[in-house]
Amino acid sequence: MKKVTDFLKSTAGMVLIVTIIVMVAVHFITGGNFFTAYNVSTLTRQASFVIIVAFGQTLVLLTGGIDLSVAAVGSVASMCAAKMMVESGINPAVSILVSCLVGLALGLINGVFIAYLKLTPFIVTLATAEIYKGIVYIVTKGTPIVGIPAGAKFLANGVLFGFLPTIVIIMLVICFALWMMLRYTKFGRYVYALGGNRNCAKIVGINTEKVLVMVYMLSGLLASIAGTMMACKLASFQATIGENWVNPTIAASVLGGTSMIGGIGGVVGTVIGGLLQQTVSTAITLLRVSSYWETVVTGGVVLIAVTIDALKENSAMRDKVGRLFKKK
């Protein structure tokens, strides 16, 4: 019982409560149209792609960094998979495996610049995002690659047991694997140590550069999985795949309780943060509000998430805000 109470008091717990309240409110306002099998399946399917990428963003944030290249990495990897499957006729399983290796390689590039050359993660990943995105347009000239095999499409569009989307299962498996890694492995402890105090981590003998490189490689891998699955979902590669993933992945991580200065958070909270965002997006659609508002709401969610993180980490700011409300 104490663990449940502690969880509900945490950032992720409060976000979960808000998510449930929003779901129930929209369900009643729309006359029972929210909790339908089709709507829940669509909501979880759409959320899963962003959540998978956000897992990588969470790992990076735990070290005190940030990865602005996740969308571009996903695009490059999905392009490689699509070209192999469609233009070269290579087996989908092999193509997807190669796309994952591409994601690892692009993450490795980010990690080397950040860990060994001591460059700022924001600048490095902003620059590589532009480079990777440019590569996609140079290779494809913005032209879609169509004709992805049915076997690959099932990975993203399939449904098991009549109601459970395959992409949701993939997301949950990844979540469990990362949760186990962060909680029970030496590498997971190193990730938290790096974000908590990098100098102390180095003093106690942790190879901080190696840990950083591996974290950015994992971020690249997860972005490549999401990008390739999105191409499978669309049954084609589009140059715009993942272009709006950066802000939502940061928001999902921070709303889920991951600190932007590192050392605090986890992947379970990221799932909750991602679900809240998709719930809001679905609510906008069901309430027949203009879709243009979704961009406004997404930006607002990111701003709220960052503000919550700042208040959580800065006691002086919390006191100042508290005094403002008391005056009112």
For the chain, the three-class secondary structure string (H helix, E strand, C coil) is CHHHHHHHHCHHHHHHHHHHHHHHHHHHHCCCCCCCHHHHHHHHHHHHHHHHHHHHHHHHHHCCCCCCCHHHHHHHHHHHHHHHHHHCCCCHHHHHHHHHHHHHHHHHHHHHHHHCCCCCHHHHHHHHHHHHHHHHHHHHCCCCEECCCHHHHHHHHCEECCCEEHHHHHHHHHHHHHHHHHHHCHHHHHHHHHHHCHHHHHHCCCCHHHHHHHHHHHHHHHHHHHHHHHHHHHCEECCCCCCCCHHHHHHHHHHCCCCCCCCCCCHHHHHHHHHHHHHHHHHHHHCCCCCHHHHHHHHHHHHHHHHHHHHHHCHHHHHHHHHHHHHC
User: pLDDT tens digits, the chain, 328 residues: what are they?
Assistant: 677 777 767 778 888 888 899 899 999 998 888 888 888 888 999 999 999 999 999 999 999 999 999 999 999 999 999 999 998 889 999 999 999 999 999 999 999 999 999 999 999 999 999 999 999 999 999 899 998 988 888 888 888 877 789 999 999 999 999 999 999 999 999 999 998 888 888 888 899 999 999 999 999 999 999 999 999 999 899 988 888 899 899 989 988 889 888 888 999 999 999 999 899 888 888 888 877 777 787 777 777 777 766 776 666 555 665 565 565 5
- Cα 86 from Cα 79, distance rounded (Å): 10
DSSP state of 146: E
**What pLDDT does residue 85 have?**
93
CA distances from 13 to 42, 118, 173 (A): 24, 36, 21
> Is 152 within 8 Å of 170 (Cβ atoms)?
no
3 state DSSP class of 237: strand
CA 232 to centroid of chain Cα atoms: 18
**What pLDDT does residue 317 have?**
56
3 state DSSP class of 298: helix
Q: What is the CATH class of 2-327? A: mainly alpha
Q: What is the pTM of this model?
A: 0.91
Of 288, 311, 284, nearest in space to 296 by CA:
284
Pairing of strands 236-237, 164-165: unpaired
> Is 45 within 8 Å of 280 (Cβ atoms)?
no
> Is 285 within 8 Å of 231 (Cβ atoms)?
no
- Cα 245 from Cα 274, distance rounded (Å): 11
